[in-house]
């Protein structure tokens, strides 16, 4: 079992999405219990949740089966999540009002709670709501900000319930680590670059960008200010990654990184940058022939340049994807490019959801044993972030 999640559902139109959230959590191996407010039951039924989690749902502060359900549920949970969180429950939690089961659970919970606000854009942006969210955050609670888009009320703006995949990423993060990196500025590169041969063909590699996106997501969920510079990726960029720069070629990525490198405390160069590009790309499609020769030149080495111009107290982390002599090649790269930490992995993990990283710090000798992280790329990223900030 991955953890015990108490899902509190309140009365917003997005309440139906909590049914899918409960389903995904249960399928992923979490133990889930549900508490519904009276207004939530106007949108969704307790029966729908019961069928998914295979147990009863809590709806009343005065249940006959449990005289103090708010205490027992709060004590049971590893993490309490309010999704969707209406302006009403946010106000109650901020002001210490306990007049039903869910609001009393929140008063009884000494551990941080994850709130997932979803509401009309004007309600979300109202000073009272923003002040209440600020109060909750200052108390150590977690706020997964809503998405911007077309809302159920017909308005367009910030207030949309986020994808449940991102809610689950937040749950996985906060079960293990707090959001304590506020004020840290992080630059992460991710994905593969592609060097054009002609308007259709290109030189690229197998990188999916999953590891780089996982690292950026882990830093952002922990409160850091993250800038993501990315090439070709196979997954959607997290909606809360506001500072994202698309840089599909080595030159564009080099320019984007070098332009602002001095502004960051930590730079994680995870992108798989093409080492070579055609001397000149054709502006028209090259017609097929029996023989075709392509003359290549080296692309700019972003990591090497960052190492040469590293700013005081700035930490630089690189990756070494190898097919053989993994640790030996990684240690050589660590020293040559003036890195603080290198993450060595086998090329076979490219594009996959699982990985094994061997972490080697600056100053390592031939006999130094690396720290090994193995598992799902996001879980590995969470632990990697902890090692990085310990530098």
Active site residues: 153
The secondary structure of residue 82, as a DSSP letter, is E
Residues listed for the chain: 391
Paired tokens of 329? 């090649």
Non-local CB neighbours of 24 within 8 Å, separated by 6+ positions: 164, 165, 168
Non-local CB neighbours of 104 within 8 Å, separated by 6+ positions: 61, 70, 98
Candidates 220, 329, 350, 187; CA nearest to 272 is 350
How far, CA to CA in Å, does 306 sit from each of 164, 176, 318? Answer: 37, 32, 10
* Distance from C-alpha of 107 to C-alpha of 371, rounded to nearest angstrom: 41
* Distance from C-alpha of 94 to C-alpha of 111, rounded to nearest angstrom: 15
* Distance from C-alpha of 227 to C-alpha of 216, rounded to nearest angstrom: 8
Backbone angles phi, psi at 205, to 5 degrees: -145, -175
- Based on the number of CB atoms within 10 Å of its own CB, is 108 exposed (0-12), middle (13-18) or buried (19 or more)? middle
The secondary structure of 175-229 as a DSSP string is TT--S--TT-EEEEEESB--EESSSS-EE--S--SHHHHHHHHHHHHTT-EEEEE
- Mapped onto helix, strand or coil, the DSSP state of residue 137 is helix
- Based on the number of CB atoms within 10 Å of its own CB, is 223 exposed (0-12), middle (13-18) or buried (19 or more)? middle
């Amino acid at each position: 079992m991955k953890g015990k999640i108490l899902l509190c559902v309140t009365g917003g139109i997005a309440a139906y999405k909590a049914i899918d959230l409960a389903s995904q959590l249960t399928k992923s191996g979490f133990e889930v219990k549900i508490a519904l407010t009276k207004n939530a039951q106007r949108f969704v039924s307790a029966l729908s949740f019961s069928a998914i989690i295979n147990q009863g749902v809590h709806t009343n502060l005065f249940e006959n089966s449990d005289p103090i359900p708010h205490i027992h549920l709060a004590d049971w949970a590893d993490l309490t999540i309010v999704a969707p969180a209406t302006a009403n429950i946010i106000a109650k939690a901020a002001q210490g009002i306990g007049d039903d089961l869910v609001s009393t659970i929140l008063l009884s919970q000494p551990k941080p709670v994850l709130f997932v606000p979803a509401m009309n854009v004007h309600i979300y942006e109202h000073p009272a709501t923003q002040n209440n969210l600020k109060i909750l955050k200052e108390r150590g609670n977690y706020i997964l900000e809503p998405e911007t888009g077309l809302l159920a009320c017909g308005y367009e703006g910030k207030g949309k319930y986020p994808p449940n995949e991102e809610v689950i990423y937040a749950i996985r993060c906060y079960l293990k680590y707090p959001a304590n990196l506020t004020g840290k500025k992080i630059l992460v590169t991710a994905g593969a670059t592609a060097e054009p041969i002609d308007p259709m063909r290109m030189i690229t590699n197998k990188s999916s960008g999953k590891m780089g996106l996982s690292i950026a997501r882990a830093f952002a969920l922990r409160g850091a200010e993250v800038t993501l510079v990315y090439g070709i990726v196979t997954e959607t960029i997290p909606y809360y990654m506001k500072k994202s720069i698309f840089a599909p070629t080595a030159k564009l990525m080099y320019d984007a990184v070098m332009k602002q490198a001095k502004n960051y405390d930590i730079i994680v160069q995870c992108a798989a940058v093409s080492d070579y590009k055609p001397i000149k790309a054709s502006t028209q499609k090259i017609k097929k022939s029996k023989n075709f020769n392509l003359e290549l030149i080296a692309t700019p080495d972003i990591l090497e340049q960052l190492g040469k111009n590293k700013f005081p107290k700035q930490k630089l982390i690189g990756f070494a994807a190898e097919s053989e002599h993994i640790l030996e090649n990684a240690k050589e790269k660590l020293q040559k490019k003036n890195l603080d930490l290198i993450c060595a992995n086998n090329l076979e993990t490219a594009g996959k959801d699982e990985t094994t990283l061997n972490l080697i710090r600056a100053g390592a000798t031939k006999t130094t044993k690396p720290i090994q992280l193995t598992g799902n790329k996001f879980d590995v990223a969470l632990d990697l972030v902890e090692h990085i900030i310990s530098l």
